[in-house]
Amino acid sequence: MRKALINLAFAVAFVSALSFSIEAGQKHDAKKEESKSTPRPAMIKHEYADVNGVRLHYAAAGKGKLIMFVHGFPEFWYEWKNQLEQFGGKYLAVAPDMRGYNLSSKPTDLDQYQVKYMVEDLRALAQKLGHKKFILVAHDWGGAIAWAFAIAHPDMLEKLVIINAPHPGIFQRELKENPAQQKASQYMLMFRSPQAEQILSANNYATLVQVVLGEGLKRGFFTEADKEAYIAAWSQPGALTGGLNYYRAAQIGPPTETNKEVTNFAGDRSLVVNVPTLVIWGEKDTALLTGNLEGLDKYVPHLVIKRIPEGTHWVIHEKAEEINGYITEFIGAKH
């Protein structure tokens, strides 16, 4: 989009300089017609909502039906900036900082980071925005919350889009039975440890920068400005602990020598998702393996799966246009 607008501006300037050329004038008219039909990126604004005993910061663009984007660890609303611009052209596109993150409230009580409270945060935020039904798009921990939301409140969702986030029933199975997923999930035990904040914040968050942004900085889908935005979010007082508390409160992770049980973080309710669901999966995700797709249709009767062979856990950033295309096709958001 940015490249198209730059090209358009150049063409207009070029035509103006050659105003006596009939051919140039015809090109100028054609460009003007093109600009009328090409949607501009929606402007992002920032708001706060007091819901469910916390204050949530959220970024929003556009108006109309609600489409909500929910980030995972260790991201924040900024994960979805491209989607806000894209889908804000037709919807009210909203991306909150989840409780514990960036500019939202950060409860000090570990119990306040149970999945049920984040589910209620989303329900209350949608209600605050005046919407009884909406589209939910989520990644990583945001996806875990979104699965639980869809199980608890299917009547509130028009469509569900999950990106590299395992269904709780499938993930419980994989953690119990799949040695490869058990090995891939060892990091969760570190995240739950008292040393996690020190490890992840050392040297100006060097570990998080490398894991989340390293490849993107090399390949150009992250910039230095993006890096600074992430470090600023992680540096908010209590924000790193807030994000880690999701793991701690859920006690999620592989079995250990001292604790061979695997937690089902969605609770005891039925795990069937009665919502039309699109699951997009970067197949090179080294933390959440493709075994999490096997048997998913048993829990999700109305399921579409899109695999991205070259995508990693950070596929939203790596393959933004492809992700947007799949979402657009699934929800029918043609401009």
Q: Which of 247, 285, 299, 317 is catalytic?
A: 247
Token pair of 19 as six digits: 């105003």
Bridge-partner residues for 139, per DSSP? 163
Measured CA to CA, the distance from residue 143 to residue 161 in angstroms comes to 8
Q: Which of 71, 78, 121, 140 is catalytic?
A: 140
Cα distances (Å, whole numbers) of residue 172 to 262, 300, 315: 6, 16, 23
Q: Which of 131, 139, 313, 317 is catalytic?
A: 313
Helix axes 2-17, 22-37, angle to 10 degrees: 150
Q: Which amino acid is at 230?
A: Y
Q: Is residue 302 annotated as part of the catalytic site, yes or no?
A: no
Cα distances (Å, whole numbers) of residue 104 to 100, 200, 239, 310: 6, 20, 9, 33
Pairing verdict, β 134-139 and 66-70: parallel
Q: What are phi and psi of 280, to 5 degrees?
A: -110, 130
State the DSSP code for 256. -
Q: Is residue 140 annotated as part of the catalytic site, yes or no?
A: yes
Q: Whose CA is closest to 79, among 65, 103, 59?
A: 59
Q: Is residue 153 annotated as part of the catalytic site, yes or no?
A: no
The residues assigned a catalytic role are 140, 247, 313
